[in-house]
């Protein structure tokens, strides 16, 4: 009888005789942490103060509000054309932040890639962008608002600052995935650093660069909506804040929500078509 024809019982018995893997310190710490989190979650849910809110009534009211938002969009304070104009302004803020951020991040990404720049330079750049990325975008906007004042300028600078850190990390990792033999072959043929970048690095990473840039563009679009309410920037965010928190017009919230979703779908469609076109050109 061959090894593959052994009875199932003998195979199970052989597996059961395998020695158990000993617990390492890392496994003990992870299990202990998960146990503490589970106990804390159960305790918090058991002692949660609901403030006397009727959960069933709250759920019913939420469904009624969602019905108004999504089935009866409109409102007297904001017309469709005005809302469309404000969404376009928000899109412009996101576009500027992404454009400036991608341009700066491309240069920093080249210097942050370990296969293209000296290690001390890459370490400094990666440490800097990690620090910037650790601070939320809204905080950077508020920091720059101290000097630039609340408004579109502070919003664009803050979103650009955070976009640079995000895209620098994404770009540098895309450049590091390039086969080192290609770079070594170009160096052996006498190509300088700029020729290597424009003849091998960027063409080979163009699809990834486009994907990361559009992903950041979508994030900046969402951030620009928030900045309109939090930082006084122009755009639809301020109208959304007024409709939801000032005069509580759910129909107007629905109109703005539909416009934001429509633009998000359009952006995603454009990104997919551009990536497919680049792939077809490279094929």
Query: Does the pLDDT of residue 95 top 60, yes or no?
Result: yes
Q: Which of 221, 213, 216, 205 shows the shortest CA–CA distance to 264?
A: 221
**pLDDT given for residue 240 in this prediction:** 83
To which residue do tokens 């597996």 refer?
Answer: 15
d(CA 141, CA 221): 14
Quick one: CA torsion of 112, 104, 222, 145, rounded to 10 degrees?
110
pLDDT tens digits, residue range 108-132? 998 988 888 888 899 999 999 999 8
Query: Does the pLDDT of residue 150 top 80, yes or no?
Result: no
**pLDDT given for residue 227 in this prediction:** 80
- Both structure tokens of 187: 């160096």
pLDDT tens digits, residue range 166-204? 999 999 988 888 877 777 777 787 778 788 888 888 888
**pLDDT given for residue 233 in this prediction:** 65
- Both structure tokens of 144: 């720059």
d(CA 248, CA 262): 23
Question: Which phi-psi region, left, alpha or beta, contains residue 163 (left: φ > 0; alpha: ψ -120 to 50)?
Answer: alpha
d(CA 102, CA 273): 20
Please give the mean pLDDT across all residues of the chain.
82
Query: Does the pLDDT of residue 1 top 50, yes or no?
Result: no
pLDDT tens digits, residue range 58-94? 888 889 988 888 888 877 777 888 888 888 888 998 9
The percent helix, strand, coil of the chain (3-state, each to 5) is 80, 0, 20
CA-based max dimension of the chain: 83
**pLDDT given for residue 97 in this prediction:** 92
d(CA 220, CA 91): 9
d(CA 228, CA 226): 5
d(CA 73, CA 69): 6
Most confident of 14-28, 43-57, 255-269: 255-269
Q: Which of 132, 206, 129 shows the shortest CA–CA distance to 175?
A: 206
Task: Report all structural domains of the chain as residue ranges with CATH numbers, in order of start.
Answer: 87-282 (1.10.3720.10)
- Both structure tokens of 69: 């938002």
Confidence of residue 11 (pLDDT cuts 50, 70, 90): low
d(CA 207, CA 216): 14
**pLDDT given for residue 108 in this prediction:** 92
pLDDT tens digits, residue range 237-277? 888 888 887 778 888 888 888 988 898 888 888 888 887 77
């Amino acid at each position: 009888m061959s090894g593959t024809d052994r009875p199932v019982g003998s195979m199970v018995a052989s597996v059961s005789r395998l020695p158990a893997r000993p617990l390492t310190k890392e496994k003990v710490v992870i299990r202990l942490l998960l146990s503490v989190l589970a106990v804390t979650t159960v305790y918090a849910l058991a002692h949660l103060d609901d403030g006397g809110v009727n959960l069933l009534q709250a759920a019913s009211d939420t469904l009624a509000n969602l019905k108004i938002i999504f089935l009866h969009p409109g409102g007297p304070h904001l017309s469709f054309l005005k809302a469309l104009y404000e969404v376009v302004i928000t899109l412009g803020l996101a576009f500027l932040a992404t454009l400036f951020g991608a341009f700066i991040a491309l240069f920093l990404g080249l210097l942050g890639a370990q296969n293209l720049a000296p290690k001390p330079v890459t370490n400094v750049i990666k440490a800097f962008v990690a620090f910037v990325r650790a601070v939320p975008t809204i905080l950077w906007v508020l920091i720059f608002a101290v000097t630039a004042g609340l408004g579109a300028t502070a919003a664009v600078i803050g979103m650009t600052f955070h976009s640079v850190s995000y895209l620098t990390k994404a770009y540098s990792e895309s450049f590091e995935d390039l086969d080192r033999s290609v770079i070594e072959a170009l160096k052996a043929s006498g190509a300088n650093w700029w020729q290597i970048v424009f003849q091998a690095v960027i063409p080979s990473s163009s699809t990834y660069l486009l994907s990361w840039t559009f992903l950041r563009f979508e994030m900046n679009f969402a951030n620009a909506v928030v900045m309109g309410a939090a930082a006084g920037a122009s755009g639809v965010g301020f109208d959304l804040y007024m409709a939801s928190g000032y005069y509580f017009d759910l129909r107007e919230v629905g109109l703005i929500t539909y416009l934001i979703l429509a633009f998000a779908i359009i952006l995603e469609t454009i990104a997919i078509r551009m990536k497919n076109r680049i792939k077809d050109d490279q094929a």
